[in-house]
Structure 1
């Protein structure tokens, strides 16, 4: 891309507040002017949020395929793996184009969800799986619509379109399991616990660490954004050479 983007590394410092928390103040502050439009703090944080969501929901989908006791839970698990693999591909393509640093592991809060579901079994797993995932998807759904309606960046807008479709699909398949307690999940998604920022923030990757890749399943039906068509060619490649494999269920 050469000098196509007027970006400074300092201006794109790793975001300090992510997870299910609200975006920090000055969220509409432009931190870079790119050939795809201005990039704001909330645009950058959104790309990182989508990446972090996949880093825990993808392995949870793998766990659900092993532990789910009903066909509906297994179907929901398939949708998690399929949808987040495609979203992750888009994130990994646009992040270097926008000079955004992506995490390699989810936030401590999100990792806690994974540990909880790893410890569950039987119908308790089914219930916790459906309610945790319905709550987290419901919490991010409004954020996606805000980004889609306000961003001036073409790449972020395309990611928001894909994320909107994916999250709506995942909310729907969770509801179809029959395990969702709507009173509980809606209360939790609108009244999240007051956790320290450190629990809500995925840590930045160590320098030189290979990028984790969420591998699409063999029967993938979700597709990433066509970045080359969208950006007129010259986009960054998806997975970098030597990228590490996707996280797997423990």
Structure 2
């Protein structure tokens, strides 16, 4: 039976952050809140094309997404009650390991510092799922992940259609395929409340920047690596064209 909007709003309350579905819908929680409103402002001219604030923030968002969705996939493999949730968990781990490899390849090329932990909001969500079990875990898992992937889907498309940086464009291509795949496997669980999810996607709340921004890694801290599973089918993007060719304009 589909959950009511009010029911969905209470599913994710727990822990010090008092998480709610509405709060978790906000797209900025997937990474770094921009440092200014001028996302098209060029911050560096590289051999792969100009790098804008929006480009930089996108790379960080993709990295931050993996830092919480990858462990959520691992939790799903342990707690998932249905075959479809177990399959969705495998897709999270596989897809974000490959995306993370691409992020870690292009970040130093573009002089972008990547976080090693997700934002406080994202970390709180992981804590919330760790505390749930049984059928409730499956419902919470499917709905919040369909919501967050749906929220970022349009952002990926916008970056892909506007960036002049070929490395960022390559990452956006991979992210587009991965996010669409994750949306699809969440829907296949049969647990998604579309009315509530779509309502939350179109009415994101304003949240404190401190909840949305992953902390910068301490100097000298080894970079966290999201290890591909032994059965990985997703692969990092081939950067050959972007690296060896001229940036596409």
Give the alignment's TM-score, normalised by structure 1. 0.84
Give me the whole-angstrom Cα distance separating, in 1, the residues matched to 2:213 and 2:237. Answer: 26
Q: Aligned runs of 1:55-204 on 2, under 5 Å?
A: 55-204=67-216
Shift of 1:156: 0.1
SS at match of 1:39: strand
* 1:70 CA displacement: 0.4
2:233 is aligned with 1:225: no
Give me the whole-angstrom Cα distance separating, in 1, the residues matched to 2:153 and 2:28: 15
The residue aligned with 1:4 is none
Name the SS of the counterpart of 2:190 in structure 1: coil
What is the TM-score when the length of structure 2 is the normalising length? 0.84
Q: Quote the Cα distance in structure 2 between the aligned partners of 1:106 and 1:18.
A: 12
In the TM superposition, residue 89 of structure 1 has moved relative to its aligned partner by 0.1
- The yes-or-no answer on 1:29 pairing with 2:41 is yes
Q: Tell me the CA shift for residue 229 of structure 1.
A: 4.6
| 1:192 to partner: Cα distance | 2.2
1:25 Cα offset (Å): 0.5
Return 5+ residue gaps in structure 1 as ranges.
1-16, 234-250
1:19 pairs with 2:29: yes
Q: What is the deviation of 1:18?
A: 4.3
Moved more, 183-192 or 200-209: 183-192
Unaligned 5+ runs, structure 2: 1-26
Secondary structure in 1 aligned to 2:147? helix
RCO higher in 1 or 2 (8 Å CA, sep ≥ 6)?
A: 2
Q: 1:183-231 CA distances to partner (integer Å, 9 max, x unpaired)?
A: 1111222222321001000111000000000000001000101124531
Q: Secondary structure at the match of 1:19?
A: helix
Moved over 3 A (4+): 20-24
